[in-house]
Amino acid sequence: MTVAVEFDHVSRHFGAVRAVDDVSIAIEEGGFFAMLGPSGSGKTTCLRLISGFERPTAGHVRIFGENSENVPPNRRPVNTVFQDYALFPHLSVRDNVAYGLMVKGTDRRRRQAAAEDMLALVKLDGYGARKPAELSGGQRQRVALARALVNKPRVLLLDEPLGALDLKLREAMQEELKSLQRALGITFIFVTHDQGEALSMADRVAVFSQGAIVQVGSPQDIYERPHTRFVADFVGSANVLSPELAARAGGPRHWSSLRPEAIALAKPEAARLTGTVTGTRYLGAVNRVTVAVGGDMLTIALPAVQTVPADGAEIGLTWPDGALHTMEAE
Amino acid sequence: MTGGQHLTARISDAFWRHPRLLLAVLLTPPLIWLGVIYIGSLLALLVQSFFSIDEFSGLINYQFTLKTYAELLRPSNFDIILRTTLMAASVTIVAAVIAFPIAYYAARYAKGRMKAFFYLGVMLPLWSSYLVKVYAWKLILAKEGILNWAVDGVGASAALNAVLALPVIGGSSLSVSYIGTFLVFLYVWLPFMILPMQAALERVPVNLLEASGDLGGRPSQTLRHVILPLALPGIIAGSIFTFSLTLGDYIIPQIVGSSRRFIGQAVYAHQGTAGNIPLAAAFAVVPIVIMAIYLWVAKRKGAFDAL
């Protein structure tokens, strides 16, 4: 496998702020890679280091093996779908999409035809003559996508591209982006703070915290086998068990994680832990029940079809072997 | 609810029920001012320009005629119009070229103290009297002035003399040449170009510049295809100031420059000593017509599409 983008001990400091701090990672060609993290964790700065809008304070960003420090954004084989789309308001949709070809000097007929093809690809045929202001958020998003893809980039960067869309549209676009990536076979690098989005779309996920990558792996790895308490908590709100509680639950005396949906109710004599119900939140498909176990709180997710124990009830908890995951670090 | 309320409360309630009432109260005085005093006098001026003057008696003949406008086309008068328009156009173009980098720097890069310094630097000349500035320039540009002395000092007098030897725009010294008039116009009106330009450039989102670069646009292409079209309304606004202010000014060409007249001076002379109000009015209509044509062309070319 070719490496599309490689970070080699890359740092980007803004004065005293270490936006990106000694990040090393290799992103393989042809995959769907997600950079996941809370705001301010350095994921967007990493994306801007690839597109060339930021330059590293230290280290090297290599794009297809080439050092990119002295290559300006307009000469990099990457294109970006911007967070707020950044469509040119004075140009028609067609001219927006054709912009990349226009600055390369492609003649008018050819670039307009290519733009129409791209608009068809993102299901916006017939919208070419409109201005961006006349489109809905979802349509603008597609124009931004078409505008980036018309250049046939080897890497497509997407900066929180679905953040401004409502839930239904977001889910539809997730599917579409995924199938588009498979059909085109180019590398997608995707920045998001939405763990559900990262898990459902990406082949590989890097979790960022405070300017550093804390874990890289498949969505299953990240979700089921978090390395740190931060990952366990940020990716899907797992229960984080202190070493003492983990030992009482039958695991090694080490920080551990336990997924809410892995926990089931059990008779006290068959339970791995017992506790008192302190509250229930109804979320549609499941009820999230908080249980006090000694001084610790655990969350369990019960299918909504199951009866929920009343507040104050003493209940037993159990889970399948292997569900209690021992974390490598704190 | 209605009984026993204060008058102020009743008034504010009435305004709440009739939002247009408040608008009417607020807008009527300025509209009267603008409508009656400003537009009214403009119309009076326009009407005057259609009268003519009796050449023997010097009295105004109150008959509608285009005779006065025909006078404008006489070579001596038409030269004044041509001279003024060319001067206004050159001042505007050069002011735009000089103002753009300054405005761009201020809009894109200047922060905090530098921004305050920028505003101060641009506005400060406006705080001192226009006449003082123009007379100061007369001294600067004079044969014995500091500019000549400086040019002499760096040994460039030959170059300056070559420029002054040019036909039409040259003269015996800068202060009595069209170049001098041009320099003073440029200096005096430059802030009026910089400020609207800076405001327009500030409104161009940075991410559009990044998008252009990301899509392969070189900085020069980004300037041409993104920055200029989006900043054009501001540039046009600035050019309206520099262009119309130059068209109408009658003090600068009188103090600095050759003795040949500009439109403003012609208006001044005809309505004053010569007592030819119709011709003065006709001259005064010329800048209005030129500006109208300019704006019409700008609109046709799509200069305001980005608004």
* One domain, residues B90 and B143: yes
Q: What is the DSSP string of B195-243?
A: HHHHHHHHTS-HHHHHHHHHTT--HHHHIIIIIHHHHHHHHHHHHHHHH
| 3-state DSSP assignment of residue B300 | helix
The Cα A212–Cα A7 span in angstroms is 12
Nearest CB to A73; choose among B213, B229, B305: B213
Which pLDDT band, with edges at 50, 70 and 90, does B3 fall under?
A: low
Q: Closest Cα partner for A137 from A161, A119, A159?
A: A161
Q: Do B216 and A84 touch (CB under 8 A)?
A: no
Question: Dihedral of CA B268/B269/B271/B276: which sign?
Answer: negative
Q: Flag whether B291 is in a domain.
A: yes
Q: Do A103 and B229 touch (CB under 8 A)?
A: no
Interface test with B, best of A68, A88, A91 (most B CBs within 10 A): A88
Whether A216 has a pLDDT exceeding 70, the answer reads yes
Return the pLDDT at A267.
86
* One domain, residues B105 and B233: yes
| Residue B165 structural domain | 75-300
Confirm if A42 and A20 have CB atoms less than 8 A apart. yes
For residue B283, the tally of other CB atoms under 10 A from its CB is 28
H/E stretch holding A297 reads strand A296-303
The Cα B84–Cα B248 span in angstroms is 9
Instruction: Report the number of distinct structural domains present in chain B.
Output: 2
* One domain, residues B155 and B273: yes
Return the pLDDT at A94.
96
* One domain, residues B111 and B21: no
Residues B157-170 have pLDDT tens digits of 888 888 888 888 88
- Torsion angle (degrees, nearest 10) of CA B208, B239, B141, B167: 110
Q: Is A30 exposed, middle or buried (0-12, 13-18, 19+ CB in 10 A)?
A: middle
* One domain, residues B19 and B149: no
Q: Flag whether B48 is in a domain.
A: no
Q: Can you state the angle between helices B277-300 and B75-108, rounded to 10 degrees?
A: 40
Whether B2 has a pLDDT exceeding 70, the answer reads no
Contacts of B226 in chain A (CB under 8 A): 88
Q: What's the ipTM? A: 0.84
Q: Can you state the angle between helices B228-248 and B277-300, rounded to 10 degrees?
A: 170
Please provide the size of chain B in residues.
307
* One domain, residues B97 and B11: no
Q: Flag whether B82 is in a domain.
A: yes
* One domain, residues B26 and B95: no
Confirm if A302 and A254 have CB atoms less than 8 A apart. no
The Cα B61–Cα A288 span in angstroms is 95
Q: Flag whether B267 is in a domain.
A: yes
Q: Is A225 exposed, middle or buried (0-12, 13-18, 19+ CB in 10 A)?
A: middle
State the nearest Cα–Cα gap between A85 and chain B, in angstroms: 9
Query: Which residue of chain A has the CA closest to B303?
Result: A90
Residues B128-155 have pLDDT tens digits of 888 999 999 999 998 888 888 898 888 8
Confirm if A56 and A10 have CB atoms less than 8 A apart. yes
Query: Which residue of chain A has the CA closest to B228?
Result: A90
The Cα B30–Cα A186 span in angstroms is 63
Question: How many CB pairs below 8 A link A and B?
Answer: 65
Contacts of B229 in chain A (CB under 8 A): 90
- Torsion angle (degrees, nearest 10) of CA A235, A241, A243, A248: -150
Contacts of B205 in chain A (CB under 8 A): 86
Mean pLDDT confidence for A44-65? 95
* One domain, residues B201 and B289: yes
Nearest CB to A90; choose among B212, B216, B305: B305
Which pLDDT band, with edges at 50, 70 and 90, does B307 fall under?
A: low
* One domain, residues B142 and B282: yes
Return the pLDDT at B125.
83
State the nearest Cα–Cα gap between B143 and chain A, in angstroms: 51
The Cα B81–Cα B105 span in angstroms is 36
The Cα A47–Cα A30 span in angstroms is 17
Phi and psi for B117 in degrees, rounded to 5? -65, -40
Residues B271-285 have pLDDT tens digits of 877 788 899 999 999
H/E stretch holding A11 reads strand A3-14
Return the pLDDT at A92.
95
Domains defined for chain A, CATH in brackets? 3-231 (3.40.50.300), 238-326 (2.40.50.140)
Return the pLDDT at B208.
96
Q: Flag whether B112 is in a domain.
A: yes
> What CATH number does residue B234 fall under?
1.10.3720.10
Residues A83-132 have pLDDT tens digits of 989 999 999 999 999 999 999 999 999 999 999 999 999 989 999 999 99
| Amino acid symbol at A95 | D
